[in-house]
Amino acid sequence: MTLLGFFNYWVVVTLMMIGFYCVIARGNMIKKVMGLNLFQTSVFILFVSAGKVVGGSTPILRDGVEVYSNPLPHVIVLTAIVVGVAITAVGLALAVRIQEAYGTIEDDHLGDDLDDDEQG
For other proteins (CB under 8 A), the number of binding residues is 90
Can you tell me whether residue 64 is helix, strand or coil?
coil
* Positions in 85-114 near other proteins (CB under 8 A): 85-90, 92-97, 99-106, 108-109, 112-114
User: How far is Cα 61 from Cα 63, in angstroms, rounded to an integer?
Assistant: 7
* Positions in 25-64 near other proteins (CB under 8 A): 25-28, 30-31, 33-35, 37-38, 41, 44-45, 48-54, 56-62
Closest residue by Cα to residue 74 from 93, 53, 95, 98: 53
Can you tell me whether residue 94 is helix, strand or coil?
helix
From the CB of 61, what's the least distance to other proteins, in Å?
4
